[in-house]
Structure 1
Amino acid sequence: MGVEPALTGSDLILSKLQDFMQVGGPVVWILSAMSVVALAIILMKLWQFVLTRPETSAHLERVLGLWKQGEADQAMAILNTKRPVDELLGLSIQGLNKAQNNVAMLKEELDRVATLRLNQLRAYLRPLEVIATLSPLLGLLGTVLGMIVAFQQMEAAGNQVDPSVLSGGIWQALLTTAVGLAVAIPVVMMHNWMERKVERVAALMNDTVTRAFTSAPESVNTEEHTAIRHAA
């Protein structure tokens, strides 16, 4: 008779994980899949925020100062158009700096670009919200189904009910609720943080573009400047 090889650390963890998934049943499998999707979305959004750095605003004061002095070219040279706020500010400066600017067209273009960039920042936040909402509900559903099975077993046992069997069924049922909450809590936190970040970017867009209009140099037509200020 051969001797079974001892399990390594990774094999032991994998075995425990398989047992955990089997005890939890289909609900835990679904929650695990949802957690993987949520993690992928969170990492993707974090990478997007790192690349674009949409809230970076330390250089905007200098840009607006140059623009107010009539140095449009120097102001544009500082801007990084890969950032949404910089892009809108650049469009504002270019539009206001043109001798024959069209107020209505500039307003529409700023609205279009702002909406597009904010939608890009909000992309995939809705699936994250759905996962955060459904996870605890699925966990509760798994608990209810597990409790039904546990009480069915207790009814079948009649007068010879084994408390250990009943308690085992109950903790297995409660396991799905714990998993659902474990998935939902960090997802809710990350979703709210990202939503708030997008709101701050939108506010920064509005503030920066409005200041570009109100600090336009004297060379810009006064009547057009007053009218276009509402585009922000």
Structure 2
Amino acid sequence: MQMLFDAIGRFIDLMNTGGLVMWVLFVLNLLLWYALGYRHFILQRGTQGNIRRLIDKHEKRGETQAIRGILDHAVADALQAAKDAKKISANMRQHIHGALFPYYIDTSKYVTLTKTIVVLAPLVGLLGTVIGMIETFDALQNSSMFSQGASISGGISKALFTTELGLVVAVPGLIFGRVLDKKAERFQLEFEQMTDIICTKDSDEN
């Protein structure tokens, strides 16, 4: 327990070296990884294989088909929407799009937040560095000639902590965010393909 308290104390001391900006970056980092974690959890494919095969499995097995990921849920809802559209003689494509709309929203959720933090974090870090440099040079006015060298090196070192943390927040967020964006785009294309296949199969049957 004492080791935990010591680690927390060292962490707080490190954060305080960069001032308030360090804590702002820490909060931005928490928000970023919450958004990335949420998107990673949502963007789980589930059953592997192409969309046509997945649709066939759900049509054959029905309720016994295991629901493993977003595509399984989407196929099940799309097929149910197609059945409902046939019962009420509604436009099947529009009905399926309506059923899949929440999935489009889920796959793109927190995209704006992630991109905003990735852009904002280095700027906030740079702001902290500028503030730190200003405070350093202000302190030099009240320092003796012999202590100015140590004041400059120590002050600049502390000021650069914020820039470093800003990049530490932004770079992984940029990489993982881009990977998840590509994954989301692929899912959205598969949703479109899903709609086309179900509507085409219904037309062929009729």
TM-score scaled by structure 2? 0.80
Residue 132 (str. 1) matches residue 118 (str. 2): yes
Q: Which runs of 5+ in 1 are unaligned?
A: 1-6, 67-71, 221-232
1:66-85 matches, within 5 Å, as 74=60, 76-77=62-63, 78=65, 80=67, 83-85=73-75
The residue identity in structure 1 corresponding to 2:189 is A
| 2:108 equivalent among 122, 134, 141 | 122
SS of the counterpart of 2:89? coil
Task: State the 1:14 CA deviation.
Answer: 2.1
1:123 is paired with a residue of what secondary structure?
coil
Aligned partner of 1:230 in structure 2 is: none
Match in the other structure for 2:38:
44
Is residue 32 of structure 2 the alignment partner of residue 32 of structure 1?
no
In 1, the alpha carbon distance for the partners of 2:114 and 2:84 equals 37
2: distance between equivalents of 1:140 and 1:65?
54
Q: Deviations over 1:9-47 (max 9, x none)?
A: 323322211211221100001111222222333333333
1:187 aligns with 2:177: no
Q: What amino acid does structure 2 have at the position aligned with 1:101?
A: S
Relative distance call for 1:109 and 1:125 in structure 2 (3 A) is: same
Could you tell me how far 1:148 is from its partner in structure 2? 1.3
Q: How many Å apart are 1:163 and its aligned residue?
A: 0.8
Match of 2:6 in 1: 12
Distance 2:5 2:81 in 1: 58
- Give the deviation of 1:95 after TM superposition: 6.0
* SS of residue paired to 1:83: helix
Q: How much is the aligned-residue C-alpha RMSD, in angstroms? A: 3.1
Larger Rg, first or second structure (1 or 2): 1
Structure with bigger helix share is: 2
Q: Which residue of 1 aligns with 2:78?
A: 88
Of stretches 147-156 and 82-91 in structure 1, the one that deviates more from structure 2 is 82-91
Q: In the alignment, is the contact (CA less than 8 A) between 1:85 and 1:201 conserved in 2?
A: no
Distance 1:211 1:75, change over 3 A: farther
162, 171, 190: which is aligned to 1:176? 162
Which runs of no fewer than 5 residues in structure 2 stay unpaired?
none
- Bigger shift: residues 184-193 or 174-183: 184-193
**What is aligned with 1:23?**
17
Preserved contact between residue 63 and residue 75 of structure 1 (Cα < 8 Å): no
* Counterpart-to-counterpart distance in 1, 2:138 and 2:204: 83
Question: 1:75: Cα distance to partner?
Answer: 6.1
Shift of 1:111: 2.5
